Structure 1
Amino acid sequence: MRGQVDAQARTSRWALLLLLTMTGTSGCSWFDVDLSPTPDAAPSTSPTAQTGPPPVSDIARVEAITARVSDRLGEAPGVPWITPGWEAPLAHWEGARQRLPRGSWEAGVLGSHLVVAGGCLGSEDRCSDRLPGGVHLLAPDGELTTLATELGPHRVHSVVDSADGSAIVWATRWRGESYLFGYEEGDEAPTEITGLVPAGSHVVPVGILGEDDALISYGEERPDRYVRSSRGQAWWKARFLDVVAPGVLLGDPLGTTTPQSCHGLYVADDPFPRWTRCYTADGRPADLGPLMMTSNRRWLVALDGSTSDVLVIDARTGKPARRLRFPDRPQQVVPEGDSHVLVVLTREGRRDAWAQQWIVRCTITGRCERATSTRRPPLYETLALLAPGRSE
């Protein structure tokens, strides 16, 4: 894998010591943040940082709004979505529908291409109809471009894409060493990102903060420390960080092993959270799924396993705003644009094989329309939305 890229011949844009570029909709204007680095600042020098123990919000006490789902079939989902198939899954995006290679898994979006990874891990004679393991780009017309291939145990893992679909980063591991690669739309070849972590560290890319700026987690036994490809060590006082928008992160501010119950919102270059909050359901830690941010940075949404509702959170404060309750069971929720969410719904049948699924598009206030027709997926499989900017 390392031989694919001549690191000496190409200067990695990912490793340049540049200030984070934030323009247009990717800026943090509503945070009103000075983006100058403050890794060594004391809490008192960060007036917007919250101090004291995190407040607690009981989700069960938040207003529940019954979503009103119209039978009208609206536009198709604005993010890629996957329908399971009896032979291989189908990917839907950019108005196209393509069958995914068997043994692969969808990992992100790069421009108009779907990023697929993994592939055949068995013997060659059993995998003739599959992709070789690695990272590939699938075009709407079905053309495949291979960016990296796996050799033996040199496994590709933890592919992350940027929220705007312009770049991807992935890691591989070979004989106890991790290697990191970045690729931007239009590049001739991937670039190896070097010199960031001590030799022998286990490396996992977390997300892409901005142009030429990826967040990497690493550690000897588990990746619980963080470094940025653009400027070196970042000293966020949180663990389990997740990039939810360019320059915006969510993390567990208490460093506990239950990241689903407490969250803090951080802005790049500031080690102190804008807010922290713990979520409970009838006094127990809430079982929240991944929190994702709308494109205007106004709302965070998550699937709440405690109540089987979609939870809407005010991203400025972390305070729950409302719960959206559906007559059928939500399986997944993903933001779409500034003020809509896409929700995968399941209607159970008398047997699991008779379950029906479809995707609805809802406003934050609970007015919904169908975004797909009803499907009956194979047993133990489900429709899936591919959220941009997420690690797969």
Structure 2
Amino acid sequence: MSQDSEQGASAAGSTNNSVSDSTVNGPIFQVRTVYGGMHVHDQPKAARPPGPDAVEVLVEQHDPVGRYVVLPALDAITADPPVRGPGVLTGGEDIAGWARDHGGIDFGHTVLFVTLTNRSDAHLTLRGIRAEVLERDAPPTGALIGKETAGSQSVPELTFDLDRPESQLWEVDEYTRRPIGTRPYLDRTHVRLAPDESLKLIITAEARRYCCAWQLSLTFRPDGAPEFTVQPPDRFRTTGLPVQGLAPVLSWRWSLNPPRFIPRAAHLDWCRVGHSEPRPLNPLPEGARPPFWARHPNILRFRPALIHFIGTDTDGPELDRRLKDVDAAMRAVCDGLKTGDDTALEGFPAPLQELVRALLALCAGLAAGHLPAEIHDALRHYIERTPAAVALGPVLATVERVG
């Protein structure tokens, strides 16, 4: 395999040195006198044309240190807890595998070790690798399951963003995990496989806002022939963080006697899950204004709790995206009220619609100081099912329940 180069190495052959009148899976030696010498005939090799059947793709799912899995079926925690099999060392329970066996879905990302081997006689240029998303839905709610660890998480080198409609493969920095370069990996790197040459890749598919079922799709171009596509049969599921959050957050504490799940908080590079209290927010920069829906003094004073509620305790770019989604939905509702359009939210995902309706009711109550009993009760019921319940409880308590 070569990168940024057109040259490839060819595999060395093997020779059968036996002398025989018959074929022995190698060269044929016929011993006879031909002008006083030995005449050697090589056995012709079967042609190996390029195509999907001439590329071996080995896909292995890898669970790095710090792996979390969303478990929608909470009854499995008590009805069928993990057990350590015969000969397995203490702490060797496969918690991620146990959770997947009970319907669990990889949280945040899925890591694959991929090995490509060219079994044709042609040189193949790797033209594309895609994560073909088969389903994209709202993330499920449930428990977030992890395992007690004592190590650091490995950083993948190549990533897909499953949240994007057309996801491309990007190389990321080993430490910052930011994309390297201004173009996708295969747009700026020439990857060519000689006959019988193998290439190993570590690929991570990430999801933040959707739950995706997906599979790999790889495109090759033989020298002087049309491109072809290889799709390994393996299918994977990766989920992001639902707007309602995930609860409880549990860690398998193998060091306890007996081993069991215990509550904990999960700290990832884009979110922290399991915290009931909002993190402190920096004051707004000078000259900056809060969102149009949060400018009333009674609303603005609860800004940290509202951001905690809207962002589901995400951070960085993911928090910015969620705030923009809510702002767009709130503007759509306000524009709809002006024009009499009561379908303004229909173009947004159903969980976001629920959150925005709750936020509208809460902001209206904070601004007016009261809410009708029916709306107040429905809002309290919705809030109690979110990770922001502890933070929003005192906020709702300032709104009088009328009727």
TM-score by length of 1: 0.22
Q: Which has the higher strand share?
A: 1
* Larger-Rg structure: 2
Q: Which has the higher helix share?
A: 2
TM-score by length of 2: 0.22
